[in-house]
Amino acid sequence: MFKRIFLIVLDSVGIGEAKDANKFNDEGANTFGHTVLNSNVELPNLSNLGIFNLLNNTNNITNGIYTKAIPVSNGKDTLTGHLEMMGIITSIPFKTFLNGFPKELIDELELRTGRKVIGNCVASGTDIINQLGERQMKTGEIIVYTSADSVLQIAAHEEIIPLEELYSICKIAREITLKDEWKVGRIIARPYVGLPNKFERTPNRHDYALDPANKTVLDLLKDNQFEVVSIGKIADIFNNCGISRSIKAKDNLDGISKIIEVEKTDFNGLCFANLNDFDSKYGHRRDVVGYGKALKEFDDKLPDIIDNLNTDDLLVIAADHGNDPTFRGTDHTRENIPVLIYSPKITEFKRLDDLKTFACIGNTIADNFNIKYDIGYSFLEELK
């Protein structure tokens, strides 16, 4: 039906508490709604695709098909959300270490890397770099920290520990944490530059995820000779499984530019992009004004993305979880996600019934390319 599908994940742009939000202590969260309310931004192009109908439960005329998807995996982070979208339901959550990592793990990391560890606590990345960055520059130690997510993050100044060494350290950490008792979802390299009180994280972040437990829609597409183009951190999330070509992005605007560049090429398959600034720069930092500006930035560029679609292309805009910048704490929030759908071929614009799992997105993509997949269900027939 469609030659090319462009799936863009607005990282953390949830649209209201999921039905099981109480299990995650997230009742009342609404990332998109609270951001719009508190930042006073106008988003005419997202509105045109139906997002405010989802928010306000209205039926205003749109130029897109729209719905919500309900999370069913046991978790509310990037890895869990993306895996569910591509057909893997996580029933046992990845391990978290809210009191820091065990001494045995840290001892092994120090022994194998030759670098001492400082930090080893739950922390905001920017905060811990400000607290320990100067010491790290003087001693050459590595800053290890985590969050409510299943992650082990390692920060180092690029002029003190070169990128390749930092990446090597992260690969060692990934090997160590393959043990069942230490199996975190992702190891994340967090390089930074600058001087004390002026440190800045660089775009050279690198994630080392676990291989997906089973074949995803991405694997099946690639196995069937369809191209799977990754933009942003998608390749890292899936540990390069099912990826034909990986394109890095420095930030949201760069990611959008890369999407448009790919639109101008000829291929048959999926372009899967993640725009991460919403989550990493604004959600976790509880910066509602910055979050609103990032939404406006995407909204302003959305016509360029739409204008570069071919007549047989499909655009799907979704999210992976919530991260309400007005909510307590700095953690992700358990939310439904918006699913906004557009193609020049579609002539009947409407609201679809809520999708019972994020996996319906991947199932629909597989269905479009005549690939059978039994996780979730397809809404392809609704796209007329």
The closest alpha carbon to 213, from 78, 87, 72, belongs to 87
Question: What are the CA-CA distances from residue 316 to residues 64, 76, 270, 305, 377 (Å)?
Answer: 10, 21, 11, 11, 16
> Each residue of 323-336: pLDDT tens digit?
999 999 989 999 99
CB neighbours of 368 closer than 8 A, spacing ≥ 6?
1, 2, 5, 314, 380
- Cβ 65 vs Cβ 383: under 8 Å: yes
CA 313 to chain centre: 23
The closest alpha carbon to 288, from 330, 320, 254, belongs to 330
What pLDDT was estimated at residue 137?
97
What pLDDT was estimated at residue 282?
97
Tokens 């649209």 found at: 15
Distance CA 317, CA 158 (A): 34
Distance CA 248, CA 273 (A): 10
pLDDT along the chain (384 residues), means of 10: 98 98 97 97 98 96 97 96 97 92 98 98 93 97 94 97 98 96 95 96 93 96 98 96 97 98 98 97 96 98 98 98 96 97 96 98 98 96 93
β-strand partners of 156: 191
- Cβ 15 vs Cβ 335: under 8 Å: yes
Decide: residue 92, CB within 10 A, 0-12 exposed, 13-18 middle, 19+ buried: exposed
Domain with CATH 3.30.70.1250 in the chain: 103-209
List, in sequence order, the alpha helices (H) in 140-240. Answer: 163-176, 217-223, 234-237
Buried b (16+ CB within 10 A) or exposed e, 337-364: bbbbbbbeebeebebbeebebbbbbbbb
What pLDDT was estimated at residue 363?
98
Best CATH choice for the domain 103-209 from the list 3.40.640.10, 3.30.70.1450, 3.40.710.10, 3.30.70.1250: 3.30.70.1250
Instruction: Region of 40 please: left (phi>0), alpha (psi -120 to 50) or beta.
Output: left
H/E stretch holding 296 reads helix 288-307
What pLDDT was estimated at residue 3?
98
What pLDDT was estimated at residue 149?
87
- Cβ 17 vs Cβ 335: under 8 Å: yes
The three state secondary structure string of 318-378 is ECCCECCCCCCCCCCECECEEEEEECCCCCCCCECCCECCCHHHHHHHHHHCCCCCCCCCC
Fold type of domain 4-91+211-382: Alkaline Phosphatase, subunit A (3.40.720)
What pLDDT was estimated at residue 93?
86
Domain with CATH 3.40.720.10 in the chain: 4-91+211-382
User: Would you call 253 helix, strand, or coil by DSSP?
Assistant: helix
The closest alpha carbon to 187, from 61, 94, 294, belongs to 94
Distance CA 244, CA 257 (A): 19
- Which amino acid is located at 174 in the chain? R
Distance CA 295, CA 291 (A): 6
